[in-house]
Amino acid sequence: MRPRDPAEPGRSATPLELLYDLCFVVAVAQAASSLHHGVSEGHAAEGVVGFGLVFFAIWWAWMGFAWFASAFDTDDPLYRVKVFVQIAGVLVLAAGVPRAFEHRDFALITYGYAIMRAGLVAQWLRAARADPALRRTALRYAGGIAALQVAWLALLAVPVDQWIVGFLILAPLELWVPWWAERACATPWHPHHIAERYGLFTIIVIGESVLASTVAIRSAIGLDALPADLVSVILAAPVILFTMWWLYFSRPVHRLLTPNRAAFLWGYGHYFIYAAAAAVGSGIAVLVDEAIGESHLTELQAGEALAVPVALYLVSLRFLHLRRASDDGTGTIAWLVAAAAILAAPSTGATAPIVALALVLLTGLTVATRVRAGP
């Protein structure tokens, strides 16, 4: 296993990486569905907290593989077998998501996470043996990941009401391990490849809006009369989905991923972009529930379930993903105004159409600015 060339031309996602991402669709869908039901049934605080915890495990497991594969992907039989171990862990984790939400039972999620991390530790140990120059870095990754995984398993012995304390200690340590390891010697990850991998995962989480739109249309089937609120959600949901996608891919960002410090900020900050995008699908589903009378929320509360994650998506996207897209600050002001308008939308009683309109206007402004700036 030799490190890849960080300047390698034509570096793109491999079929194995695409298969790995596909397995995460299940985990993201489970988390988003659990958030939807928690919020719709009037348990918003518990649903949001549970979603944040579960989504961290999903996102961080994906992150570990994505960055390793960018630097060391050999795609030989041994590499594929180790990736298969990680895929098996993803499926176990996804199976444990409902129990984590409904019973605060994190055992199955932890076991799935342990399987994934064991596969990643094996990959780092192989890299340490194969490349003397990066041995110290690889051993730091392997040792840090293994030690923390033992700690996560030990945390299962802690009472459920105290589990969150352990999470607040171990999660920052998980984020610290890559920073500590890369200080020994930076791994040769590929900026264009990493930008593509993040873009592909963005499509996965935005895809939850596709599922929510399908649910909205299916809910209308068999109704004697379509409520106006439901019609507005059905029409607005695809627009929200498409404009969120458009804004994310409005400008190439691989040039922003140097040096390592900028890459860390960009990579870690995507947690908020991904979580918000997945939660948008839940918000659409909550609005559908409210429109057909199957929600315990008021119209205002249901609207906030969509408006808040969309606004968070915009703010996170602007400052973490597109932060250098405008030199005069005008673009940033427009994005903040759009986010504020979206947050105010639930008070109008027409949340979905106003959110869609705000996103369309922002997308149009982004396109116009890009055209004026030239290639």
Phi, psi of 223 (to 5 degrees): -80, 140
Contact yes or no for 178/67 (Cβ under 8 A):
yes
Q: Which residue ranges form the domains of the chain, and what is each CATH number?
A: 15-184 (no CATH), 191-373 (1.20.1410)
Per-residue b or e along 258-282, where b marks 16 or more CB atoms closer than 10 Å to that residue's CB: eebeebeebbbbbbbbbbbbbbbbb
Cβ proximity of 272 and 316 under 8 Å: yes
Give the model's pLDDT for residue 259.
64
Are the C-beta atoms of 152 and 96 separated by less than 8 Å? no
Residues in CB range of 133: below 8 A, 6 or more apart: 185
Which contiguous run of DSSP H or E holds residue 148?
Answer: helix 135-155
Q: What is the pLDDT along the chain (375 residues), one digit of tens a residue?
A: 778 877 788 888 889 999 999 888 888 888 888 888 889 888 888 889 889 988 999 999 999 999 999 998 788 899 899 999 999 998 998 888 888 887 888 899 999 999 999 999 999 999 999 889 999 999 999 999 999 999 999 999 988 878 889 999 999 999 999 999 999 998 998 888 999 999 999 999 998 777 766 776 776 666 667 788 888 888 899 899 999 999 999 877 777 777 667 788 888 999 999 999 999 999 998 998 888 888 888 899 999 999 999 999 999 999 887 765 444 455 788 899 999 999 999 999 899 999 999 999 999 988 887 777 655
**For residues 245 and 249, what is the distance between their CA atoms, to the nearest angstrom?**
6
Residue 256, C-beta contacts closer than 8 angstroms, at least 6 positions apart: 262, 266, 323, 324
Q: Which residues contact 217 (CB under 8 A, 6 or more apart)?
A: 234
Rounded (5°) CA angle 362-219-276? 35
For residues 274, 280, 285 and 290, what is the CA-based torsion angle, rounded to 10 degrees?
150
Residue 105, both tokens: 């039972």
Q: Specify the 3-state DSSP secondary structure of 6.
A: coil
The pLDDT value recorded for residue 277 is 94
For every residue of 202-242, which 3-state class applies, written as one string? HHHHHHHHHHHHHHHHHHHCCCCCCCHHHHHHHHHHHHHHH
CA 23 distance to own-chain centroid: 14
As a whole number of angstroms, the distance between CA 193 and CA 15 comes to 13
CB 356 within 8 A of CB 244: no
**Residue 360 to residue 226: CA distance in whole angstroms:** 25
**Helix (H) / strand (E) containing 53:** helix 44-72
